[in-house]
Structure formats: C-alpha cells, structure tokens
Amino acid sequence: MIATLATPGRHRRLAHRRIVMLALAGMLAGLFALTLMLGQSLTPPGDVLRVLAGQDVPGASFTVGQLRLPRAVIATLAGMCLGLGGAAFQVMLRNPLASPDIIGVSAGASAAAVFAIVFLSVSGASLSIIAIAAGLGVAALIYLLSFRDGVSGARLILVGIGISAMINSFIAYALVRAPGWSLQEALRWLGGSVNAVRIEQAGPLLAALVLFGGLVLSRSRDLETLRMGDDMAAALGVRVGAVRLSVMMGAVGMIAVATSVTGPIAFVAFLAGPIALRIIGPHGSVLIPAALTGAILVLGGDYVGQFLLPARYPVGVVTGALGAPFLIWLIIRANRTGGSL
C-alpha cells in the first residue's frame, strides 16, 4: 500500500519524458532526411536511400553523397557535441552563463588556429590538433585561475569572460597582421560553418562523442545531485571535486573537437541546454535532450542559412542571431530571479 503512494506521479513523468525524447529524436531524424532530400533541387527519397546504400545514382550520388550527406552528418555530430558539452557545464555550475562558448573555450581553440594560420602557416590536420590542444589548454587555465579551495561557478565564469576578452583582442591583432592570402582561411575559423566539410571529419567527432560524451553521461546522476548545491551533493555521496573535473574534461574535449572541425558555431553550446530544459521539463537529466537539441539547432540553422534567407550564410551567423537576444533575455531574467538551469 505505502509503496504505491509515491509512484504514480513519478511514472507519469518518466513516460512523459520518454515521449518528449522520442519527439526530439524524431524531429532530428526528419530534419536530417529533409536536408538530404531538399536543397537547390529535390531528390526523391528512393534515390536518397539508394545513394545511402552505396549504389551509383546519376546526379544524386554527387549532390546527396558528396554535398548533402557529409554536411548533415557533420552538423548533427558537431551539434550533439556542442549541446551535450554546453549543458554539462551549465548543470555542473548551476548557471546557464557557464557555457564553454561564453567562457572562452571555443574562442581559445579558434584563436590558436588563427595564430597558426597567420604566423606559422600551418594547415590541415595539424591545425585541428592545435585548435583542440588550445581549447583544452584554455579550459585548464581558467580552471587553475579560478581554483581556491575548489572551484565556484561564479568565479569560473568571471575568469572565463576575462580570458575570453583577452583571446578576442588577440584574434583582432592577428587579423590585422594577417597577409591577404591567409585572411580567408583565418576567417573560416572565426565564424562556424559546415561548408565544404568532408565525411572523413565525422571520425574525430564520433570519437569525441563516444569517449568524452560517454564520460559526461556516466556522471549524469551525480550531475543531477549537484544541482542541489555542493554541500548537499557531497552529503549525498557525490565526490564533488572528482565529478567536476571529469565532467569538465569531457565537456571541454567535445567542444574543442567540434570547434576544430566546424569553427566556433556561435551560441549552440549555450542555447541547447536551456531550450532542452524548457522542452523536457525539470525532471531527470537534461543532457541527452540537450545533445539532440544541439544537433537540431546546427542542422536546422545550416538549412535556414543555406536556403531560407535571401543570401547564403554560414550556420554560425544564424545561430548567432538566435543566441544574442536569448543571452540578453537570460541576463535580465537572472538579475530578477537568480534563475538557474
């Protein structure tokens, strides 16, 4: 008798959560199918499937196989990395402003890439490795600078915003000094885009998602408990410091790898968590819904930028236009209520 008292509400919410997750996944799948079928021209679903199965379909093999598929795959994977990494940071530090793209992790990655292009004439895979290393390095620097008997969210955000400003001034300097021939390549690293991506680039993204994403998701229950404050979480058996460190490593790894492939796609890491939270509601972990939301944002944003606007824009411009007003709204709201993710 007693045992059933608390359960109906809980099971109802779990069922609701499952439906919403399925709806998000369905939306992502639909969007993915749409981007494969409909671009400048319409490819019938049958042709798309045949291309995916590896058959040679005149015309469709190129547009779908070479142009649309790599783009959609990279956009989906990068979006998942950004959404999951961003939401993990926000939940861990109980602050939506604590997203890695606000505190300068992605800026660090792109600044290193710009520096390497302009001053060292690096290109190709080594450029990606430099960008990833710089992303991790900046995150470590922020962590160390904000460390004092543990890391508090507010200190980390402020240090991150300061570092971010320094990095941006450095980027501006590098661009002023850049010779014309490298400027084009450097600019590609400053606005996120999935133009001209190759399917091979899915490899590192997938590896990051499995490795770093797995690390973050394995801490999902600890992260949920951390939302009740560090003290309460510790009293409930969470090793706060260890969880923080591993979640931070996983999230930064995903963001840095994604940035090394697509450049910094503005605000996706920052937006995915709060949007997912509003869709899924406050029960249970927001991490997987945030990964799906991130993928939808990048895939949808890229589609809008390509086909629904008067000119063609890279996805970063679209998500940037979406994110900036949200950032302002969030700051105003946080001032009023002290609201949190």
Partner 1 sequence: MTINHRLQVQDLTAGYGDRTIIKGLGIDLLPGRISAIVGANACGKSTLLRVMARLLRPRGGQVALDGAAIHGMPTRALARVLGLLPQSPIAPEGITVADLVGRGRHPHHGLMSRWGPADDHAVATALEATRITDLADRTVDELSGGQRQRAWIAMALAQDTDLLLLDEPTTYLDVAHQIELLDLLCDLNARRGTTIVMVLHDLNLAARYADQLIALRAGRVHAQDSPDAVLTEATIAQVFGLSARVMRDPVSGRPMMLPIGRHRLAAE
Residues near partner 1 (CB under 8 A) are 2-7, 9-10, 13, 94, 149, 218, 221, 224-225, 227-232, 234-239, 281-283, 339-341
Return the beta strands (E) in 98-157 as ranges.
none
Ramachandran bin of 285, using left for φ above 0, alpha for ψ from -120 to 50, beta for the remaining angles: beta
Give least dist CB 75 to partner 1, A. 31
Judge contact between 123 and 117, C-beta under 8 A: yes
Q: How far is the CB of 145 from partner 1 (least distance, A)?
A: 17
C-alpha dihedral sign at 107, 108, 109, 111: positive
Q: Quick one: 19 or 232, whose CB is closer to partner 1?
A: 232
Closest to partner 1 by CB, 21 or 166: 21
Calpha distance 6→266 (Å, rounded)? 43
Q: Which is nearer to partner 1, 226 or 322 (CB)?
A: 226
Q: How many whole angstroms separate alpha carbon 44 and alpha carbon 326? A: 37
In this structure, what is the dihedral angle of CA atoms 80, 83, 89, 95, given to the nearest 10 degrees?
-170
CB of 90 to partner 1, least distance (A): 12
Sign of CA dihedral 255, 258, 259, 263: negative
Q: Which is nearer to partner 1, 18 or 312 (CB)?
A: 18
- Using the Cα atoms of residue 142, residue 143, residue 148 and residue 154 in order, give the sign of their dihedral: positive
Closer of 233 and 269 to partner 1 (Cβ): 233
Q: Within the chain, what is the greatest distance between any pair of CA atoms? A: 77
Is the Cβ of residue 68 or residue 244 nearer to partner 1 in the bound state?
244
Q: Minimum distance between the CB of residue 120 and partner 1, rounded to whole angstroms?
A: 43
Q: How far is the CB of 254 from partner 1 (least distance, A)?
A: 21
Kindly state the smallest distance separating residue 277's Cβ from partner 1, in Å: 9
